[in-house]
Structure 1
Amino acid sequence: MNIYIDADGCPVVKETIKVAKQFGVPVVIVCDAAHYFMHEGVQTITVMQGSDAVDYEIINRLQPGDLVITQDYGLGALVLAKKGYAMNQNGKRYEDQNIDQLLFTRHLSSKLRQSGQRLKGPKKRTREDTQQFILALTNFLKSIQEGQSH
């Protein structure tokens, strides 16, 4: 198993690395050329800037059972299709049971914005959000280690 981080705009890169090291799971950071990441013992892949370039790089490398940390529902859906696991920056797992609803909500929001409506953005990130992510990632990796993927 590898953990891939969709690192462009990801607020939990360091936390992911720390938890992954506790479980001996390799981490691969994937970002575009506008960002720079350097963490000891962690592979960083930088791709050219472009729409979905990071997503395509992750999907091309992904093996069944790998985990992707991403805020992107579209990437989450692709990960699930390749039999991987996907989790957002707050520790919420993208699963077959919720991905269609998440994608539909994103589509509706996009349509509303295109029609000129203003939507509230995400709430400001808190320390509790980060703690929730760390707990969810730790529990997920424990369950994988114990042979229980769900």
Structure 2
Amino acid sequence: MHIWVDADACPKVIRDILFRAAERTRTELTMVANHPLPLPGSTLIKQLQVPKGFDVADDEIVARLQPGDILITADIPLAAEALEKGARVLSPRGEPFDKSTIRAKLTMRDFMDTMRSSGVHTGGPPSLNQADRQAFANLLDQLLR
């Protein structure tokens, strides 16, 4: 098992939870981003820096994922691809993605994208709060057991 993180938009507080969990469970973790990230000094935690560009990090993650790996991402299309490869997927808000719900999430994402491109202001997600952090940490622990 390996933890992969779509790290370009992963909140620092979530990265910190991931770093502690990787050390505690002795699980390899790779942060994939198009810019350098501060990492703790650990042989288990690495960064894969990819060139800037549309979906470059996503494509690299999908190419490296193995069945049973864990992916942390808020990117719904990436989550769908990871699920197809047999990975377990979790959003930084502690929301699990699974094969039974991913199509509905993709449909809603596409609908919201259409609304935004037609000029409707849909707003962004609310700020990450303590309940989100706790939900993430709890589900991550379950996945690592």
Coarse TM-score class (shorter-chain normalised): over 0.9
Structure 2 residues without counterparts, runs of 5 or longer: none
1:86–1:94 CA contact under 8 A, matched in 2:
yes
Instruction: Count how many residue pairs are aligned between Structure 1 and Structure 2.
Output: 141
Q: Which residue of 1 aligns with 2:40?
A: 39
Q: Which residue of 1 aligns with 2:96?
A: 93
Q: Which residue of 1 aligns with 2:79?
A: 76
Aligned mate of 1:132, from 107, 130, 135: 135
Q: Which piece of structure 1 moves more, 35-44 or 64-73?
A: 35-44
Query: What SS does the aligned partner of 2:33 have?
Result: strand
Supply the distance in 2 between the matched residues of 1:88 and 1:105 (Cα, whole angstroms): 16
Matched, 1:57 2:60: yes
Q: How does 1:14-25 map to 2 (within 5 A)?
A: 14-25=16-27
**Percentage of pairs with the same residue:** 30
Q: Cα deviation per residue 1:38-73 (whole Å; 9 max; x = unaligned)?
A: 222211110011011110111111111111000000
- Regions of 4+ moved over 2 Å: 35-39
Q: Which residue of 2 aligns with 1:148?
A: none
Question: Residue type of the partner of 2:106?
Answer: L
Q: Which piece of structure 1 moves more, 132-141 or 36-45?
A: 36-45
State the Cα distance separating 1:37 from its structure 2 match: 3.1
Q: Cα deviation per residue 1:86-126 (whole Å; 9 max; x = unaligned)?
A: 10002211100110011000000011111111102111111
Root-mean-square deviation (CA, aligned residues, Å) is 1.1
Structure 1 residues without counterparts, runs of 5 or longer: 143-150
